[in-house]
Copies of this chain bind each other. A is one copy, B any other.
Amino acid sequence: MSETFTIRRQVEFNHCDPAGIVFYPRYFEMISAVQERFFADALGMGWDRMISGTGMATPMGQIDCRFHAPSRLGDWLDLSLGVKRIGRASASFVITCTSGDERRFTCQATVIHADLAQGTSTAWPAQMRNAMTRYLIAKTPD
Q: Which residues of A contact B (CB under 8 A)?
A: 12-14, 16-21, 23-26, 28-29, 31-33, 36, 40, 46-48, 51-52, 57, 59-67, 70, 72-74, 116, 119
Contacts and interface: CB of A to CB of B under 8 A. Distances in A.
18 contacts: A12-B29, A13-B47, A14-B29, A14-B32, A16-B17, A18-B18, A18-B20, A18-B48, A18-B51, A19-B51, A19-B59, A19-B116, A24-B32, A25-B29, A48-B73, A48-B74, A59-B67, A62-B66
A23 B33 contact: no
A119 B20 CA distance: 13
Contacts of A66: 61-62
B59 A62 contact: no
Given A16-B18, A29-B25, A61 B67 contact: yes
B19 A23 contact: no
A33 B12 CA distance: 7
Q: Most chain-B CB neighbours within 10 Å: which of A18, A46, A63?
A: A18
A73 B72 CA distance: 21
